[in-house]
């Protein structure tokens, strides 16, 4: 089981700054994310800091928190959760992360760790005297089918035996780690069976299937009666918007007669909706919990302004909730409260 803590104060540097190239890269990376969502750049920035320093220092965590205007605890949560981030100095040539979760353990991860103990250090995170190697135990790395496995920086080495592990460590110690091809170390491609396919080995039947599909289509054409021409209902005439309009437009004429009544019901029963924004639409993404996709959905439903959302009552929330794919989000993220504050700011 991996324990994730920051390194001792004695090894922490006083300060951190990205070098010029990485600083420019970081600024550009932050702009990849929408306004108000800059914190999403935290993982790439932490990774770049690690690539620059060799590990993620406390000073780097603080610096990135300031760059992204994030509370320190939020950056710490990310840095201490993912074992891809090294929180203490590690071997410069290889830091071997041995998966110790059940499938790997059942397939020999214990022996792989014994090799690391013998060749590197009896204890995890102890860097060899020459500073080249270190190791630790981590949780599942998602390659269980090829257990046991290890990660070395960004590459995985799978289907290991103790002898192979020794060989890999020796190659990395000699600065020749690139001689080892990452991935399975036995005769298999990715996670396919060892020695080649054992199923789905028949000849392709695509041509046969195509011919049969063509014949079915031909006979269906002959058998199908002609459909009477149906006029589409004009979407706008019904006074609906978004997906309601689309649904209505697709209905046959007979159904359209009843449409105005239904449209009126939607208009009066639910929250205030607008076919288009009054002037410029508000940036709904500023509401925590609303991303670009959800903003699009809200616009499609007729909501463009914070003021509209700020006016929602409980019944309105239930109606809108039904139309979103994330039920309960409005209440959980307190959209109305947020919208009230934001509506005042845009006045």
Closest to ligand FES by CB, 79 vs 99, is 99
Closest to ligand FES by CB, 146 vs 297, is 146
Q: Select from 78-86, 136-144, 230-238, 338-346 the region that touches ligand FES (CB under 6 A).
A: 136-144
Q: Select from 7-15, 33-41, 144-152, 199-207 the region that touches ligand FES (CB under 6 A).
A: 144-152
Closest CA to 26 of 9, 11, 46: 46
Does 160 bind ligand FES (CB under 6 A)? Our answer is no
Cβ contacts of 281 within 8 Å, gap of 6 or more: 299, 304, 305
Tally the residues of the chain.
347
Among 59, 140, 249, 324, binds ligand FES (CB under 6 A): 140
Does 249 bind ligand FES (CB under 6 A)? Our answer is no
Q: Select from 55-63, 128-136, 141-149, 329-337 the region that touches ligand FES (CB under 6 A).
A: 141-149
Q: How far apart are alpha carbons 198 and 200 in whole angstroms?
A: 7
SS3 152: strand
Q: How far is the CB of 54 from ligand FES (least distance, A)?
A: 25
Closest to ligand FES by CB, 182 vs 239, is 182
Cβ-contact 55, 87 below 8 angstroms: yes
**DSSP β-ladder status, 155-158 and 150-152:** antiparallel
Does 182 bind ligand FES (CB under 6 A)? Our answer is no
Among 147, 150, 238, 241, binds ligand FES (CB under 6 A): 147
Q: Is the peptide bond before 148 cis (omega within 30 degrees of 0)?
A: yes
Among 90, 149, 160, 248, binds ligand FES (CB under 6 A): 149
The DSSP code for 13 is -
Q: Select from 34-42, 135-143, 162-170, 331-339 the region that touches ligand FES (CB under 6 A).
A: 135-143
Closest to ligand FES by CB, 80 vs 101, is 101
Cβ-contact 57, 76 below 8 angstroms: no
Q: How far is the CB of 101 from ligand FES (least distance, A)?
A: 4
Cβ contacts of 168 within 8 Å, gap of 6 or more: 150, 152, 157, 160, 177, 180
Site string for ligand FES, 91-110 (x = CB under 6 A): --------x-x-xx------
> b/e string for 324-341 if b means 16 or more Cβ within 10 A?
eeeeeebeeeebbebbee
Distances (CA, A) of 268 to 28, 87, 117, 264, 336: 46, 57, 72, 6, 20
Q: How far is the CB of 145 from ligand FES (least distance, A)?
A: 8
Cβ contacts of 331 within 8 Å, gap of 6 or more: 317, 321
Q: Select from 10-18, 127-135, 143-151, 297-305 the region that touches ligand FES (CB under 6 A).
A: 143-151
Site residues for ligand FES per CB under 6 A: 99, 101, 103-104, 140-144, 147, 149
């Amino acid at each position: 089981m991996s324990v994730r803590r920051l390194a001792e104060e004695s090894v922490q540097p006083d300060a951190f700054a990205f070098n010029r190239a990485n600083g420019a890269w970081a600024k550009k990376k932050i702009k990849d994310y929408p306004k108000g969502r800059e914190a999403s750049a935290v993982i790439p920035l932490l990774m770049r800091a690690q690539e620059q320093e060799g590990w993620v220092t406390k000073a780097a965590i603080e610096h990135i928190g300031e760059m992204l205007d994030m509370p320190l605890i939020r950056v710490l949560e990310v840095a201490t959760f993912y074992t891809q981030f090294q929180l203490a100095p590690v071997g410069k040539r290889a830091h071997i992360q041995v998966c110790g979760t059940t499938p790997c353990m059942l397939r020999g991860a214990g022996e792989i760790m014994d090799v690391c103990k013998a060749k590197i250090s009896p204890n995890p995170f102890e860097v060899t005297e020459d500073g080249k190697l270190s190791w630790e135990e981590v949780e599942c790395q998602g390659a269980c089918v090829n257990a046991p496995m290890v990660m070395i920086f960004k590459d995985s080495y799978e289907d290991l035996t103790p002898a192979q592990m020794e060989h890999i460590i020796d190659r990395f110690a000699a600065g020749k780690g690139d001689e080892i091809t990452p991935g399975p170390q036995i005769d298999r491609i990715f996670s396919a069976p060892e020695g080649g396919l054992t199923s789905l080995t028949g000849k392709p039947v695509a041509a046969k299937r195509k011919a049969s599909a063509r014949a079915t289509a031909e006979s269906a054409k002959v058998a199908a009666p002609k459909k009477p021409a149906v006029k589409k209902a004009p979407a706008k005439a019904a006074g609906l918007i978004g997906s309601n309009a689309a649904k209505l437009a697709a209905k046959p004429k007979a159904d359209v007669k009843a449409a105005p009544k239904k449209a009126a019901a939607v208009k009066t029963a639910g929250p205030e909706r607008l076919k288009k924004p009054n002037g410029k639409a508000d940036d709904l993404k500023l509401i925590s919990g609303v991303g670009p996709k959800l903003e699009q959905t809200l616009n499609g439903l007729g909501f463009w302004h914070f003021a509209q959302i700020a006016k929602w009552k409980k019944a309105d929330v239930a109606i809108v909730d039904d139309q979103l794919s994330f039920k309960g989000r409005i209440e959980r993220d307190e959209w109305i409260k947020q919208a009230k504050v934001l509506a005042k700011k845009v006045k």
